[in-house]
């Protein structure tokens, strides 16, 4: 966060120096008076300052305000300046898209050259979730440009880039980005579809409808495939292995790939056979933090095998290597939507059977949202203050004896974060200020700005987007650079 503070303070110094040297105080003041969007950003900064007065953790409150300085500095610089014309904005957009595209190739090279690279580290120096948001915006810019391109080769190049970025999102496992793109496409089509030629509108609507139907069909298929019981789980339980050793059948109902995970378990045989095929100790912890034994149980169960010496004979060397790395399901070796669905289904199964949320991103979010809502209900009008969100969430998690009590996480939802900090009074003031700015400046006449707004607002549901430097800069630069173009460009999507 030191980088954020340094960069924003430097920006402040350069801004003030430029205004003093050029004598632009009056000119800038007049420009700022006519930008409701800038007023909204100023109001948000003011709310952070005022609500700091009632906070107990002043140091964290000051840290939070320093972290969010770009939300004040960037709008002041951009929105007090002359709006960029279309010809001036085009090189900026091109440089942005080229940068994002270049970083995807950097990620590809890292993926191919670094063994077992975690997907979160595929693109360096930025969260994979935040980079996914940048890919979403890049896709919107490229698709908008494709409507104005002439020549089949140019459009073909645009299609190739779009397909590559969509595939890279799969590599990045930024699955929420797909949801954001689908919702954004529906909104844009509903709001601006009439501006398109009839044939283009029908083709676009048919494409979006096909994507939605495919997503629904795929979800239904994977649900059936995951929960449809396989033969081993439907037959009467056998008491002993082929070697005469007793099985353990735990009736907890945990299902994975159509098989009960904790049935047909003979630990002595597993331990004996594992030590013959692997140098990893049976009770060791893998690089992913997963113990070998439960990973082996899940892997055999997912394959529909008994957890004994007979089941172990069906494992190939690649399976042994996967288990040693903590991969607990052969489906996880694949790249595609099936892996995403199966991870989510297993998370739900763990919560259904054991109320376990540890190491499961979706369930952790739900637990944090529930906890944050309880904190909000305790301080509904004025909130807990700018600096007390983290402390209050931690105290509530501890009071609820939540498994996330020592995790350091708080909301994972930007709306809840603002509600907790500022209560209904501060939250509604911020929302109404930005809503008024959007209406008064007619920002949503620009399809690209609406797309950006959808990306940002949807991301704030599952992420605290404005609590990290990458998210703050994305929000500040995107909203201020795209917004002025509504005054100087046509509104065709």
Residue 88 lies inside a defined structural domain of this protein: no
In this prediction, residue 208 carries a pLDDT of 84
Residue 455 lies inside a defined structural domain of this protein: no
Q: Are residues 185 and 265 in the same domain?
A: no
**DSSP codes joined into one string, 441-466:** TTGGGSHHHHHHHHHHHHHHHHS-GG
Residue 164 lies inside a defined structural domain of this protein: yes
pLDDT, mean of each 10-residue run, the chain (493 residues): 57 61 58 81 93 89 88 84 77 92 94 84 90 95 82 82 92 88 91 79 83 90 94 91 92 92 93 91 79 91 93 93 90 85 90 79 87 93 92 91 81 93 96 93 89 95 90 91 56 40
Residue 447 lies inside a defined structural domain of this protein: no
User: Nearest Cα to 463, choosing from 422, 421, 415, 420?
Assistant: 415
Residue 160 lies inside a defined structural domain of this protein: yes
By 3-state DSSP, what share of the chain in percent is helix, strand and coil, each rounded to 5? 70, 0, 30
Q: Which residues contact 471 (CB under 8 A, 6 or more apart)?
A: 130, 133, 459, 463, 464, 465
Evaluate whether 290 touches 322 at the Cβ level (below 8 Å): no
Residue 354 lies inside a defined structural domain of this protein: no
Last residue of a domain, one of 136, 170, 195: 195
In this prediction, residue 193 carries a pLDDT of 80
Buried b / exposed e across 226-255, counting CB within 10 Å, b at 16+? beeeeebbeeeeeeebeeeeebeeeeeebb
CA atoms 328, 333, 337, 338: torsion sign: negative
Q: Are residues 174 and 263 in the same domain?
A: no
Q: Are residues 161 and 236 in the same domain?
A: no
Q: Which residue's entry shows tokens 């301080």?
A: 379
Evaluate whether 482 touches 452 at the Cβ level (below 8 Å): yes
pTM: 0.85
Last residue of a domain, one of 311, 333, 355: 333
In this prediction, residue 491 carries a pLDDT of 39
In this prediction, residue 269 carries a pLDDT of 93
Q: Which residue's entry shows tokens 């350069």?
A: 14
Residue 267 lies inside a defined structural domain of this protein: yes
- Please give the distance of CA 123 from its chain centroid, rounded to a whole number: 14
Which domain covers residue 266, as residue numbers?
232-333
In this prediction, residue 492 carries a pLDDT of 40
- Over residues 339-359, the pLDDT tens digits come to 889 988 998 898 888 877 777
The token pair at 59 is 């140091």
Q: Are residues 154 and 242 in the same domain?
A: no
In this prediction, residue 430 carries a pLDDT of 96
- Over residues 403-425, the pLDDT tens digits come to 888 777 888 899 999 999 999 99
User: Nearest Cα to 142, choosing from 199, 104, 175?
Assistant: 104
Last residue of a domain, one of 147, 180, 195: 195
Give the other-Cβ count within 10 Å of 340's Cβ: 17
φ, ψ dihedrals at 442, nearest 5°: 55, 45
- Over residues 57-100, the pLDDT tens digits come to 999 998 888 888 888 888 888 887 777 777 778 888 999 999 99
Residue 397 lies inside a defined structural domain of this protein: no
In this prediction, residue 19 carries a pLDDT of 58
CA atoms 312, 316, 320, 326: torsion sign: negative
Evaluate whether 465 touches 456 at the Cβ level (below 8 Å): yes
Give the other-Cβ count within 10 Å of 280's Cβ: 17
- Count of structural domains within the chain: 2
């Amino acid at each position: 966060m030191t980088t954020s503070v340094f960069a924003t303070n430097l920006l402040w110094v350069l801004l003030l120096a430029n205004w003093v040297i050029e004598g632009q105080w009056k000119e800038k003041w007049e420009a700022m008076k006519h930008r409701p969007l800038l007023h909204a950003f100023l109001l948000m900064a003011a709310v952070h300052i005022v609500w700091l007065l009632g906070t107990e953790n002043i140091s964290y409150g000051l840290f939070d305000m320093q972290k969010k300085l770009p939300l004040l500095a960037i709008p002041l610089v951009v929105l007090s300046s002359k709006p960029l014309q279309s010809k001036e904005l085009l090189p900026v957009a091109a440089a942005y898209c080229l940068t994002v595209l270049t970083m995807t190739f950097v990620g590809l090279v890292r993926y191919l050259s670094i063994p077992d690279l975690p997907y979160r580290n595929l693109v360096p120096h930025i969260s994979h979730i935040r980079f996914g948001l940048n890919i979403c915006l890049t896709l919107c810019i490229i698709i908008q440009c494709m409507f104005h391109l002439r020549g089949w080769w140019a459009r073909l190049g645009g299609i190739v880039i779009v397909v590559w970025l969509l595939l890279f999102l799969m590599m990045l496992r930024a699955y929420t980005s797909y949801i954001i793109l689908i919702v954004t496409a529906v909104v844009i089509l509903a709001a601006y579809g009439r501006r398109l030629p009839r044939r283009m509108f029908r083709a676009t609507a048919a494409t979006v409808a096909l994507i939605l139907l495919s997503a629904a069909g795929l979800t239904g298929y994977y649900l059936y495939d995951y929960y449809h019981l396989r033969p081993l789980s439907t037959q009467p339980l056998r008491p002993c292995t082929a070697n005469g050793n007793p099985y353990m059948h735990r009736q907890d109902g945990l299902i994975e790939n159509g098989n009960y995970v904790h049935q047909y378990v003979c630990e002595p045989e597993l331990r004996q056979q594992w030590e013959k095929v692997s140098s990893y100790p049976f009770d060791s912890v893998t690089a992913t933090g997963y113990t070998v034994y439960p990973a082996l149980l899940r892997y055999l169960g997912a394959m529909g095998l008994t957890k004994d010496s007979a089941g172990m004979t069906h494992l190939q060397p690649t399976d042994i290597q996967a288990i040693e790395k903590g991969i607990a399901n052969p489906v996880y070796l694949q790249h595609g939507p099936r892996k995403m669905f199966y991870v989510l289904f297993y998370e739900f199964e763990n919560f259904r059977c054991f109320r376990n949320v540890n190491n499961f991103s979706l369930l952790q979010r739900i637990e944090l949202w529930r906890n944050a809502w309880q904190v909000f209900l305790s301080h509904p009008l004025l909130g807990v203050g700018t600096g007390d969100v983290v402390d209050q969430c931690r105290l509530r998690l501890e009071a609820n004896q939540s498994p996330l009590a020592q995790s350091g996480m708080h909301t994972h939802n930007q709306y809840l974060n603002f509600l907790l900090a500022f209560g209904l009074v501060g939250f509604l003031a911020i929302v109404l200020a930005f809503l008024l700015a959007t209406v008064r400046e007619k920002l949503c006449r620009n399809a690209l700005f609406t797309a950006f707004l959808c990306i940002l607002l949807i991301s704030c549901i599952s992420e605290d987007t404005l609590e990290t430097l990458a998210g703050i800069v994305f929000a500040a630069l995107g909203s201020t650079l795209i917004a002025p173009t509504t005054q100087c460009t046509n509104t065709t999507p």
